[in-house]
Structure 1
Amino acid sequence: MNVRKIIGWNLRKLRVEQGLSQERLALAAEIDRSYVGRVERGSENVTIDTLETFANVLAVPVAALLIEPPKGARQPAPLSSGRKSKAG
């Protein structure tokens, strides 16, 4: 797996684990949402500054975005689409 794919895989995994949509992550990182999607697909060459921004928003070390997933690991499932229901 190439480095761009590894970063994308980890970004999506961490984002989904935290229940963040691409849009919420993009807003918090002050980055365009479509850019986040391209990074997750591994089609964007990310700068160190952008990696640091993603890591800060996700409250993880930058190194967490560079860890190669285990062999045979499945791509993280997407979040359910649509708005979350309001509790209350």
Structure 2
Amino acid sequence: MAARRAVGAARRKGDVAAEAAARAVVDRAKRQLGERGLPWWTDGAPDYNRHLARNTPYAAWYQGLASTLPTGEIGQPAS
């Protein structure tokens, strides 16, 4: 976020060089976070989007998560 604020500050000042430098920092951060660059979703792994967690290989994890939360928080009936 500091780099994004630096972009704004440079734009307000009209400092083209500082804006370019700040944008480079933002780009580097986004690439490290996986927001830019090679797409991670084409890695060949199965897509379980639009599936209930209980119908996926994550069922045991989901059930364990459900047991650690108060009732009603992740699809369990509230009392």
Q: Provide TM-score, normalisation by structure 1.
A: 0.27
What is the TM-score with the length of structure 2 in the denominator?
Answer: 0.30
Larger radius of gyration between Structure 1 and Structure 2: 2
